[in-house]
Amino acid sequence: MATVNKAFRALASGYLFPEINRRVRFWQTNNPGKDVLRLGIGNTTEALPLALREAMIEKINELGDRETYTGYGDEQGDTYLREGLVEYYKKFGVELESSEVFVSDGAKSDAANIQAIFATDSIIAVTDPAYPVYVDSNVASGRSRGWDESRGMYHDLVYLSCTEENSFIPPLPSERVDLIYLCNPNNPTGAVMNHAQLKEFVEYARFHKSVIIYDSAYSEYITEEGYPHSIYEIEGAKECAIELSSFSKFSGFTGVRLGWTIVPNTLMCADSTKGELNRLWNRRQTTFFNGASNIAQRGGFAALSGEGHKQSRALVAYYLENARLIREGLEAKGLTVYGGVNSPYIWAKTPNGLDSWRFFDQLLDQCNVVVTPGGGFGPAGKNFIRVSAYNHRENVVIAMRMIQEHLTI
Ligand code: PLP
């Protein structure tokens, strides 16, 4: 007799973006012919850099010839890409072994799956607000008794509240936790932790034998000096941190799909032996995953250095210029805004303490602009919206003009 996995029932209704899409569709039905300006989801819009396309076309042509055709590759990724990533990290003063690098089809799946190598009764700390995958994957894996309606939070998870008062830098957990999810630069707030702030987390984790899951998907958006591009820039982090990252926002690979995860050989938790967590992730990946696309891997390799890296950086600069226009546009309208300097996301305070879903509806109704309600990322986001820089420049310009002309606050 089959029965459902009760942990999945513990998940609160609807993922954030399906609910946004539902509201947008409803609005479109009532407003036929009107164009929607989408500054909600973090989905890339600009063309793939030429050097990356050329690298992938070359691989496709190799696949078209039986002499150079390749089928399944290593589940952990092709050696040249793992070694390319080792070289890439040297720029930040980080030394890795290629056996510590696991190539994947993107950071979302790794962010969701990584918890599987830790005990089911692990206590999880997430920032509030947070990228929803960290929360939902742990709830679906049985680490919460379910949604607590009165607090707008899940039972049993520890929320590290990121507010205006702490400049959206998460405080250390006030109790012992086992896994801590950090995203730097942060989605959704756009805030960035500096070396000293991150060092406190590394020291906490080493003291409590906790593990930090560090998501650096937006590290290429760091434009200012003094911020770490990798957690391994912090001394001791290789003993207590796993790093996830992605080519999606760096090289426009949201649809191509490619990411990576670093599980150091020296990483330890309370009861692991040396190298065990690396071996367990290897075991998990070789069992559940058959490797990333060999075409995507060739493109990703091209993004790491030379012309491909330069072109990827230009793509990032384009979105950062959008972010600047959004930041300045919202500020000119009198809104309080954060982020958008080392990040493609602007975290804007709703006017007059408005709930984020109500402000979402207002922006859609008055300006035809879609944003993401901050409340969807956690209770600390309920008076904020996230505005994404991922759209064509001309749409960003129109969206800011619509807000300037039509938003009543
Ligand atoms: N991590 C963060 C913080 C993200 O914002 C995203 C995507 O928006 C991802 C991971 C997912 O990246 P990928 O496209 O590599 O799955």
| Closest CA to ligand 1's atom 11 | 108
Ligand 1 centroid – CA 231 distance (Å): 17
- Domain positions in the chain are 6-48+308-406, 52-306
Atom of ligand 1 nearest to the CA of 246: 15
Closest CA relative to residue 261, chosen from 85, 95, 42, 52: 85
Query: pLDDT (tens digit, 9 = 90+) per residue, 93-137?
Result: 999 999 999 999 999 999 999 999 999 999 999 999 999 999 999
Q: Is the pLDDT of residue 14 over 70?
A: no
Atom of ligand 1 nearest to the CA of 187: 3
d(CA 308, CA 299): 9
Q: What is the pLDDT of residue 19?
A: 87
d(CA 394, CA 380): 32
For strands 259-262 and 179-183, give the pairing. unpaired
Kindly state the tokens that stand for 29: 């039905």
Contact 131, 297 (CB under 8 A): no
Query: pLDDT (tens digit, 9 = 90+) per residue, 389-402?
Result: 999 999 999 999 99
| Closest CA to ligand 1's atom 5 | 187
Whether 248 lines ligand 1, by a CB cut-off of 6 Å, is yes
d(CA 284, CA 23): 38
Contact 16, 40 (CB under 8 A): no
Whether 189 lines ligand 1, by a CB cut-off of 6 Å, is no
CATH of 52-306 among 3.40.640.10, 3.30.70.20, 3.40.1410.10, 1.10.760.10:
3.40.640.10
pLDDT-derived band at 17 (thresholds 50, 70, 90) equals confident
Query: pLDDT (tens digit, 9 = 90+) per residue, 323-349?
Result: 999 999 999 999 999 999 999 999 999
Q: What is the pLDDT of residue 15?
A: 67
Whether 42 lines ligand 1, by a CB cut-off of 6 Å, is yes
CATH topology of domain 6-48+308-406: Aspartate Aminotransferase, domain 1 (3.90.1150)
Closest CA relative to residue 106, chosen from 243, 218, 260, 220: 260
With a CB cutoff of 8 Å and minimum separation 6, the contacts of 51 are 302, 303, 306, 307, 308, 311
| Closest CA to ligand 1's atom 15 | 106
Q: Is the pLDDT of residue 12 over 90?
A: no
Ligand 1 centroid – CA 151 distance (Å): 27
Whether 252 lines ligand 1, by a CB cut-off of 6 Å, is no
Kindly state the tokens that stand for 173: 């957990």
